[in-house]
Amino acid sequence: MTTIPQPAETPRRPRIGLHAPIAGGLQNALLKAHALRCDAVQIFSRNPRGWSARPLAGDEIENFKRVRAETRIDPVVVHANYLINLAAADATIRQKSVASFREEIERGVRLGADYLVVHPGSAKGACEADGIRTCAESLREACAGIDLGGFRVLLENTAGQGACIGHRFEHLRDIIGACPALHLGVCLDTAHAFTAGYDLRDEDGFAATIEAVERNVGAANVRAVHFNDSKADYNSRVDRHWHIGQGHIGAQALRRVARAPELREAAFLLETPLDVQGDDERNLATLRSFVEGNGDEQP
């Protein structure tokens, strides 16, 4: 077995990482994250744009777990596939979504992952309140009878495109409240929050956002932060991730998010574009400089 250098003791800063591809094997995401000196990683456990997925083979799981132990990547976050719509008003789509989400949970548990991130879904054809109720019902149905152990489902806040619910922390609060046995957590996407109308750009806007998070879902339940700048403008309800410091949120504001004491226990994960060679390295270097600071500011 090759010896991979181990990271130092758990630092007093949030864990950082990125969404990494699984082409050639799930363990390749861990190896990429490790090569980039990440603590954490996010993956899809399957093709994110198809309903059907080949079941995971025993040796794939063993391989993943072995490489994870070697690289000590922690946490491992799985992002659910994009076809799932737990809030669907259409009964057929909802049933397919519940079945697919249940599969995502089972895959995540078998892989020994820590979290499964899912968007609450689109209430198209129904009102927002119905969408929220449907989403909660779907989550309870999908998880029924599964021993989740330490595995936790995280609801991601959305940009509020179209009829998507989850663009207000109140929506997440209501879904979480309707599923008390599931201990749902939250994944906070900075680009989604910003284009949904939470103005992260100045200190007051960020304080108000953190306050809304704390009041509705509890900052301690934010287990992951999708750390993205936004190519779309404030309050546009459009979902376009962009390179850190080059979008409408900007470096100064994102630095404030990365250094927020309320979010220190969350894993910060980039979902920024990889357009040219070196983009991941550059965005990670920026995130790293934010969380590590230069001693010029009290945390």
**Residues known to be catalytic:** 49, 79, 82, 119, 156, 189, 192, 226, 239, 241, 271
* Shortest Å distance, C-beta 78 to Zn ion: 11
* Shortest Å distance, C-beta 226 to Zn ion: 3
Element (H or E) spanning 35, and its range? helix 27-35
- Nearer to Zn ion by C-beta: 67 or 79? 79
| The residue to which tokens 């284009």 are assigned | 195
Cα–Cα distance for residue pair 189/143, rounded to 1 Å:
24
| The residue to which tokens 């990271």 are assigned | 7
Between strands 115-118 and 76-79, the pairing is parallel
- Nearer to Zn ion by C-beta: 130 or 271? 271
Cα–Cα distance for residue pair 176/139, rounded to 1 Å:
10
- Nearer to Zn ion by C-beta: 174 or 189? 189
CB 227 within 8 Å of CB 189: no
Which residues of this protein are in contact with Zn ion, per CB under 5 A? 156, 189, 226
- Nearer to Zn ion by C-beta: 71 or 158? 158
* Shortest Å distance, C-beta 289 to Zn ion: 22
| The residue to which tokens 């609450």 are assigned | 120
* Shortest Å distance, C-beta 145 to Zn ion: 26
Q: Which residue is nearest to Zn ion (CB)?
A: 226
In 3D space, the residue among 232, 217, 229, 230 whose CA is nearest the CA of residue 266 turns out to be 217
